[in-house]
A and B are shown apart, each in its own frame.
Chain A
Amino acid sequence: MIAEALFFSAILFTIGVVGVLTRRNALIIFMCVELMLNAVNLSFVALSKMHGAALGQVFVVFVMTVAAAEAAVGLAIVIAVYRHFGTVELQNINLLRG
């Protein structure tokens, strides 16, 4: 089942990448990043099972913590951006465009 888990993980990661590239809503892009982190977690768990060691699961715990921190800070940034620009659509946020 390890190969199948890695297969599903690859598909989920790719869906996350496609979402980041095709969407404009900053919140949806954040959620796509979470999906990519989840796909990597599935790989960690599968490889942890393959090696019969719990180290992969320890890594998943750390990834989840970092994801929580990233969500907190990222969503605070989204709120600040919304307050400044009145939108979270990324094509309207172009202060650095020459």
Chain B
Amino acid sequence: MSLLYQVHFYLFGIIAVASALFFVTRKNPVAAALWLVNTMFALAALYVMLDAQFVGAIQVLVYAGAIMVVFLFVVMLLNLGQTDAPDFRTPGVRLGAAAVAVVMLAELLVLSRAGRIPEVAPSATPQTNVVAPVAELLFTEHLLAFEITSVLLLVAVVGAVVLAKRQRRA
């Protein structure tokens, strides 16, 4: 495994974590959303480095592009961008959250500690066949789940319209 690869991997990982920390500490929802977009771009880079180029592409298109734009649109629609009042909970709740975070992080790190995970070298040659393996599984073995997903999206669209529509009071 080349040193360049390792340096880049750590670089993008640290960018992702730092952006996420900025994201949860910003008071302004617009700033928070933009830091979250930064996290998602760094994660897309990590996906590409883990030989999941297709997932990296749809991460940028769907998450950073579509979903975060919807979030920013709602922030704009509700005119929340100007509020700089902090919305953090009381120090007691924050202390409890810190305790939960420490316990959860310890559990996750013990479960994924280096000794249990076999080391897999990144592919040395550039990959040319990256979408076909995903598509083959998606459209053969998991075709039913794929079709049900389309129904889920239809239900979500109908539900969003029904919920967000202005009700006419009789």
Q: Do A and B bind each other?
A: yes
Chain B contacts for A55, CB-based, 8 A: 137
Contact B94 A22 (CB under 8 A): yes
Given contacts A30-B71, A49-B50, A58-B134, contact A3 B117 (CB under 8 A): yes
Docked complex: B29-60 residues within 8 A CB-CB of A: 29, 32-33, 36, 39-40, 43, 46-47, 49-52, 54-55, 58-59
Asked if residues A62 and B145 are in contact (CB atoms below 8 Å), the reply is yes
Q: Nearest A residue to B73 by beta-carbon distance?
A: A75
* List of B residues within 8 angstroms of A4 by Cβ: 9-10, 13
Closest Cβ of chain A to B73, distance in Å, is: 8
Contacts of B39 in A (CB 8 A): 12, 35, 38
The answer for the CA separation of A16 and B71 in the assembled complex, in Å, is: 16
Chain A residues with Cβ below 8 Å from B122 are 1
Name A25's contact: one of B13, B87, B161 (CB within 8 Å).
B87
A–B complex contacts, Cβ < 8 Å, 19 sampled: A1-B9, A2-B120, A7-B112, A11-B20, A14-B105, A15-B20, A21-B89, A31-B32, A34-B63, A45-B46, A49-B52, A55-B137, A60-B52, A61-B55, A62-B145, A65-B152, A71-B70, A72-B160, A76-B161
- Which residues from chain A sit less than 8 Å from chain B, CB to CB? 1-19, 21-25, 27-28, 30-32, 34-35, 38, 41-42, 45-46, 48-50, 52, 54-55, 57-58, 60-62, 64-73, 75-80, 82-83, 88-89
User: B residues near A, CB below 8 A?
Assistant: 1, 5-6, 9-10, 13, 16-17, 20-21, 23-24, 29, 32-33, 36, 39-40, 43, 46-47, 49-52, 54-55, 58-59, 62-63, 66-67, 70-71, 74-75, 77-78, 80, 87-89, 93-94, 96-98, 100-101, 104-105, 108-109, 112-114, 117-120, 122, 133-134, 136-138, 142, 145, 149, 152-153, 155-157, 159-164, 166
